[in-house]
Homo-oligomer: A and B are copies of this chain.
Amino acid sequence: MKEGPDIAQIGSLMGDPARANMLTALMGGRALTATELAAAAGVTLQTASSHLAKLEAGGLLTQRKQGRHRYFALADDGVGKLLEGIMGFAASRGHLRHRPGPKEPALRKARICYDHLAGDFGVRMLDSLIEGGSISAMGEGLSLTAQGETHLGSIGIDVSGLRSSRRPLCRSCLDWSERRAHLAGSLGKALLSNFLDKGWARRTENSRSIFFTPEGERRFLALFPIEASDLS
């Protein structure tokens, strides 16, 4: 009866609304200070501090001191993957915090999922890469083709450099808003960075949504075309 890993510990860590809000905020990928996280969770600084200590002790967060600030971030991309998995599940059961605020549509269109692009744009990008033969899909697995390596190289992605990292190049990640897969892994991260570097898009403050400039959106859509017969 006392066998196996303990679900309850991490469950209760994520089960508190304040902590869940903090984790969701950190899914934005960048490290945040205790004060910022307190604001995101809607609690005072003392309370936030206590929550953050628990999350860190639980192995979900890491802390980095920098001057008089303490920056917190998700411990690794395993945490991000887990959170996205739970979000997808929660969405599938209708557990939405659905006061469909003004930022909601922007979030569905394009947002950051830990370190890569998600939402409508993220799903479209992967679909287009598969249709164009740059990525081949097998079950839940994705792999970059030789053609894809050339293609992405021409955009400015150094694939061979990514290959040397310990992290998988391509991973599929279930998108909670679209209920379909988008591209994660080091390649997904590199692509998003590429768009941000080129100025096609930028992050927004205090939200996980990604804002595409009109020009950036035009170029993105041109770069990742999809079949007209899209039924969604």
- Output the least CB separation between A94 and chain B (Å): 7
Q: Does A16 contact B (CB under 8 A)?
A: yes
Please, how many angstroms separate the alpha-carbon atoms of A137 and B143 in the complex? 11
Question: What number of copies of this chain does the assembly contain?
Answer: 2
Interface residues in A158-193 (C-beta closer than 8 Å to B): 168-172, 176-177
| Residue in A94, A95, A172, A177 whose Cβ sees the most chain B Cβ within 10 Å | A95
Which secondary structure dominates chain A's binding surface? mixed
A22 to chain B, nearest CB (A): 10
Chain A interface size, under 10 / 10 to 19 / 20 to 34 / 35 or more: 35 or more
In the assembled complex, A104 has its CB within 8 A of some CB on chain B? yes
Q: Indicate if A214 sits at the interface (CB-CB under 8 A).
A: no
Interface residues of A (CB under 8 A from B): 1-17, 19-21, 23-24, 40, 42, 58-60, 78-79, 82-83, 85-97, 99, 101, 103-104, 107, 136-143, 168-172, 176-177, 206-208
